[in-house]
């Protein structure tokens, strides 16, 4: 057996062992005794104020490099820092990045020879977290390092496979993590299971509760006129404590059966807003849908706008490989403030946070 095969086997065994002990409640790597009801709501971003009333906020973006994440015996993700500037009247916005501040975070924990394919970012309990959609590991991002915190299992939590986590949001005292929000199928759309329709509630202490959201995701896509075998894929979901509502920016959707090839050109320009108990929904169209290959991958509400403005990421893929990513700013009524702004490099940016 070669050294590389030995390394892959070690990674597989390590992941299998860690997953096995996390079947029902999730595994905590950095245990905290802090009471859940006393979580920190501290902000991590910096703010610069200008004489004309404009404000500039620090942002951080993270990538999912897919197969390119492997770097020797480790796996890595690119972190990029920048700034979002918004005018006083919230009618104009601008984004710029500091290339000198880019850095990689890495890990040696993998599943199936893949890892560190980070999706989304969330500030929770005063810390910055991301989720690896290959292993199901939540990492704390700090001091240019990625530190494992909690391992999430797929579906109801009693399977060995890690959660393919795609989005994260904070509601009250919990971090909520979800997947694609559609039935798991083959590349040709043949049904396999409902595991991607479960979400995970994670407390500040790292305790995990698994909840079946199948009916929720069915109602969300039904609001846009889609019924199975049509589908909707989610990578960008946020809870707004200001509006006490849920916000969904679907990445892909179609009234037709899922097809891996066709899916790459089924991007959306739809914002779906749901009430707190997810029983009633409003559909908002954002600008035009001329760029069907671009799909939403993440978003956050812009600070100090009463959750009226959203900054969102889109990514584009061709034949399963990343082509480009974009940032855009719009309001919750669908008015575009900043048109798709292409980001540096052929990377798939899947997480953004104010930090």
Tell me the three-class secondary structure of the chain, residue by residue.
CCHHHHHHHHHHHHHHHHHHCCCCCCEECCCCCCCHHHCCCCCCCCEEECCCCCEEEEEEEEECCHHHHEECCEEEEEEEEEEEEECCCCCCEEEEECHHHCEEEEECCCECCECCCEEEEEEECCEEEEEECCCCEEEEEECCEEEEEEECECCCCCCCCECCCCEEEEECCEEEEECCCCCEECCCCCEEECHHHEEEEEECCCCEEEEECHHHHHHHHHHCCCCCCCEEEEEEEEEECCCCEEEEEEEEEECCCCCHHHHCCCECCEEEEECCCCCCEEEEECCCCCCCCEEEEEEEECCCCCCCEEEEEEEEEECCEEEEEEEEEEECCCCEEEEEEECCCCCCEEEEECC
Q: Is 130 annotated as a binding residue?
A: no
Q: What are the phi and psi torsion angles at 280 (to 5°)?
A: -135, 135
Q: Is 235 annotated as a binding residue?
A: yes
Q: Is 166 annotated as a binding residue?
A: yes
Q: Is 120 annotated as a binding residue?
A: yes
Q: Is 315 annotated as a binding residue?
A: no
Under 8 Å between Cβ of 231 and 182: yes
In the annotated binding site for Ca(2+), the residues are 119-120, 166, 235, 297, 350
In the annotated binding site, the residues are 119-120, 166, 235, 297, 350
């Amino acid at each position: 057996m070669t050294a590389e095969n030995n390394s892959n086997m070690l990674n597989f065994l390590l992941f299998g062992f860690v997953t096995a002990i996390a079947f029902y409640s999730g595994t905590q790597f950095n245990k905290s005794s802090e009471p859940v009801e006393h979580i920190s709501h501290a902000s991590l971003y910096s703010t610069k104020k200008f004489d004309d009333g404009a404000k500039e906020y620090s942002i951080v973006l993270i990538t999912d490099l897919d197969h390119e994440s492997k770097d020797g015996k480790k796996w890595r993700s690119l972190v990029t820092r920048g700034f979002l500037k918004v005018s006083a009247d919230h009618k104009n916005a601008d984004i710029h990045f500091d290339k000198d501040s880019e850095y990689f975070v890495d890990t040696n924990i993998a599943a199936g020879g893949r890892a560190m394919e980070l999706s989304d970012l969330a500030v929770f309990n005063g810390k910055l977290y991301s989720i690896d959609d290959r292993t199901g590991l939540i990492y704390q991002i700090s001091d240019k390092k990625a530190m494992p915190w909690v391992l999430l299992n797929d579906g109801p939590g009693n399977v060995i496979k890690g959660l393919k986590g795609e989005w994260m949001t904070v509601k009250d005292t919990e971090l909520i993590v979800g997947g694609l929000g559609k039935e798991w199928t083959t590349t040709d759309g043949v049904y396999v299971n409902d595991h991607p329709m479960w979400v995970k509630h994670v407390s500040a202490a790292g305790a995990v509760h698994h909840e079946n959201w199948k009916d929720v995701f069915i109602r969300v896509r039904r609001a846009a006129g889609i019924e199975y075998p049509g589908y909707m894929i989610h990578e960008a979901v946020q809870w707004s404590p200001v509006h006490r509502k849920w916000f969904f920016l679907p990445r892909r959707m179609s009234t037709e059966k899922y097809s891996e090839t066709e899916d790459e050109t089924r991007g959306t320009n739809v914002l779906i807003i749901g009430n707190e108990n997810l029983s009633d929904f409003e559909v908002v169209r954002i600008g035009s849908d001329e760029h069907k290959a671009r799909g939403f991958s993440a978003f956050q509400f812009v600070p100090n706008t009463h959750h009226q403005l959203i900054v969102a990421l889109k990514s584009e893929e061709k034949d399963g490989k990343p082509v480009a990513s974009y940032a855009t700013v719009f309001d919750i009524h669908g008015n575009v403030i900043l048109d798709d702004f292409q980001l540096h490099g052929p990377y798939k940016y899947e997480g953004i946070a104010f930090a």
